[in-house]
Amino acid sequence: MEQPSVQPPPCDRFSQSLFMRACRCEPVERTPIWLMRQAGRYLPEYRAVREKVGFLELCKTPRLSAEVMIATVQRLGVDAAIIFSDLLPLLEPMGLDLEFTAGEGPVIHNPVREPADVARVRDLEDVDRVGFVMDVVRATRAGLDASIPVIGFAGAPFTLAGYCIEGGTSRAWLHTKTLMYRHESAWHDLLDRLARAVSRYLVAQLDAGAQVVQLFDSWVGCLGPDDYRRYVLPHARTAIAEASRRAPVIHFATGNPALLPLLAEAGGSVIGIDWRIDLDRAWETVGHDRAVQGNLEPAVLLADRETVRRRTREILARAAGRPGHIFNLGHGVLPQTPVENVLEVVATVKAG
């Protein structure tokens, strides 16, 4: 009589997944893959949901957020699921008036421009104020096979500060740099508050069932290495430290490859690499004792499928089979991307 197969406990299946083993720089049968912004406007299913609800409403509706990501993971066949959320709702309980407007994106109506404004940015003492995010983690975890790890995330202190100060996105981040350079004490006070909030937020996501968390420093590439070390690194380290004692942390920044060694110094068991540097050179820069994630140029997915396959294989060749590579784009999937090209990347990575 055939014996039933014995499934390992869920925690063991998490830890032995391709993604988690790669985070620990352990050998894997093939390179794991997931994609930043893997549930987004390029998917017709996502656009159908967004026709019914606004973006912030979607983020604050755990059932819908989880359904969007679960369906995306199942359609794409990726090896990990990042929760569907956004960097900025964390700022609302800290006293920032956040709105997502059509055509403009996030707008903060009470930006922090002067040292006196920092005092009204409240410490995040209670993560229950963003409890809907933890509910998204739980619902996503419950709806996925135990072999698919769930990734939580937060914005990094510098990137959150940039939104707080500019009141939205910016090309030059002039208001941000003005406060940073002219009022250094107020700057560090603001980033201290944000770093403590991010730390609590990441740990709460791990407590809710995430296996990994990622810190996104989407805008820090506007700084050079000296300014990063002076104005950012201590706060990034604070944001990451507690979560790093609990689980793998992916530390990702875009825009300036010269910051990579400083990202590694700030912390993270996995360093995310954007497309502005060759993967093999980036890995040498951060050290082969770390895992790396990346780093296909997102716009490559707008090309023909043969180009997509070729460029994907080039990234794999640069990793050279070294344990610790997680395939991803160098940033998020662009809204104009054909779904077929995303599927092509996943298939190419899985084929080796």
Q: Report, as residue numbers or ranges, the catalytic residues.
A: 37, 41, 50, 86, 163
Return d(Cα 28, Cα 324) in angstroms, integer: 9
**Residue 50 structure tokens:** 């967004």
